[in-house]
Chain A
Amino acid sequence: MANTENTGKWGMVIDTDRCTGCMACVTACAMENNIPWTGEEEAGYGRGMHWIRVQRLWHGEYPEVKPEFTPTMCQQCGHAPCEPVCPVFATVHSEAEQINLQVYNRCVGTRYCGNNCPYTARTFNFFDHEFPTPMDFYLNPDVTVRRRGVMEKCTFCVQRIHKGQEKARAEGRPVKDGEIVPACAQACPADAIVFGDMSDSESQVSHIARSERRYQLLPELGTEPRVTYLKGGGYYGG
């Protein structure tokens, strides 16, 4: 079998100038990845569960106040702080896809990775959250329903990556640019989130990532995040 697939270094670009903070990405992520809703009280204790959140910051003095929205998820670091601290190797680096994986069946729930994550991107299942009856029909069969005591985080919708690669391999062609779209990018009405293959210098995501408006979250830590943000000179709020 010829190795036709694109080995891929998946990356994402988020244009904060376009983001309106509508939370469609948060909702789409929760639906795609079977993320339970914990409710007000648990969220108040810091046990809310989101793989992506929209950080809102205010800029300026009173009449001239402008919001800045930063959708933040697991940055899929090249040098991930979460990986070396796991005692059971439940969070490992994928050599093939160059993303961080969370292996739910290995995880014993020490929460060390979550405490070591500078982006606080990981969430922990403190309880077996119930999906009330009509909602359990919406569960995505491609994604594990995590149980209590397991850490979880954004996977860059790895189930969609695999589905796209399988489809491309079955048709005997490389993966096309823009063929694989994670749930957040698909749902974004402003097209603020772009996903693609960073190792291909001609892909849309690589083009946008070379913009002079680019920045990364906490670059001084040297984590080599795979998510690039754009800010300034923009459309709204910049």
Chain B
Amino acid sequence: MKNPKALWQRPVFRIGIAVVFLIILGGAAGGIYFTQLPPEQPIQFPHNVHVGLGAQCLYCHPGAVSGPVAGLPSQSKCWGCHQQIKKQSPELEKLAGFVSRREPIPWVPVAIQPDFVHFNHAPHIAAGLNCESCHGNLAAMTVAEPQKGQNMGWCLNCHQKMAPENFTRLSDCSICHY
């Protein structure tokens, strides 16, 4: 028996198209969503507690003042204080485990740029920028959260606003891309 309707008018065909479209849309939305989530860290490090107690960012991330990479603290840096201070908590038991096993803590970097972008912390700190102007208010976070919109337009906006007299140099492609 011949179906009187054309192919594109059949409900099965239309539902199929809709399902495929929704799967693609859902995949895209999920992909974008998951890049905005803070990644799973080996220890749920409470930034808010440490910042609230007055610890300086540069104490644990000292590379920011002298070089391109801020660095993530080693277990000896954490253990230097936590040998004495507040040993009993489930998160600090994880730390004690890393120390007793002599393993490095596999921190997951959060604020990352692609390979073709060469960001250098030192000149930004030297220019008087605060950590929170790019990394968000860490006093309100436990583990570090990725910040939205850290793209090239964001970099250039700031370069244009903060240092218009150096904009020729600071808008040069080679300043980040080489």
Residues of A within 8 A of B (CB): 1, 3, 5, 7, 92, 94-97, 99, 101, 103-105, 142-145, 155, 158-159, 162, 166, 169-170
16 A-B pairs, CB-CB below 8 angstroms? A3-B166, A95-B168, A96-B169, A96-B174, A101-B172, A101-B174, A105-B114, A143-B178, A144-B115, A144-B116, A144-B118, A144-B177, A145-B115, A155-B174, A166-B120, A170-B122
**Cβ B115 vs Cβ A158 within 8 A:** no
**Cβ A1 vs Cβ B168 within 8 A:** no
Which of under 10, 10 to 19, 20 to 34, or 35 or more describes the interface residues of B? Answer: 20 to 34
Which 3 residue pairs are nearest across A and B when measured between Cβ atoms? A96-B169, A96-B172, A144-B116
Known: A101-B174, A104-B177. 18 other contacts (CB 8 A): A1-B163, A3-B166, A95-B172, A96-B169, A96-B174, A97-B172, A105-B116, A105-B177, A142-B118, A142-B178, A145-B115, A155-B174, A155-B178, A158-B174, A162-B174, A162-B175, A166-B120, A170-B122
**Cβ B173 vs Cβ A94 within 8 A:** yes
A interface footprint on B79-103 (CB within 8 Å = 1, 0 otherwise) = 0000000000000000000000000
Task: Check if B126 is an interface residue, CB within 8 A of chain A.
Answer: yes
In chain B, residues 132-178, which have Cβ atoms closer than 8 Å to a Cβ of chain A?
Answer: 163, 165-166, 168-169, 172-175, 177-178
Residues on B with beta carbons closer than 8 Å to the beta carbon of A97: 172, 174
- Once A3-B165, A144-B116 are accepted as A-B contacts, the answer to whether A94 and B122 lie under 8 Å apart by CB is no
Q: Which residue, B163, B165, B169, B174, has most C-beta atoms of chain A within 10 A?
A: B174
The one of A143, A155, A169 that contacts B123, using a Cβ cutoff of 8 Å = A169
Query: What CA separation (Å) do A40 and B122 show in the bound complex?
Result: 43
Q: Find the A residue at minimum CB distance from B69.
A: A141
Residues on A with beta carbons closer than 8 Å to the beta carbon of B126: 169-170
Query: What CA separation (Å) do A1 and B167 show in the bound complex?
Result: 13
Query: What CA separation (Å) do A159 and B114 show in the bound complex?
Result: 16
In chain B, residues 100-127, which have Cβ atoms closer than 8 Å to a Cβ of chain A?
Answer: 114-116, 118, 120, 122-123, 126-127
Query: What CA separation (Å) do A144 and B173 show in the bound complex?
Result: 14
Query: What CA separation (Å) do A166 and B116 show in the bound complex?
Result: 19
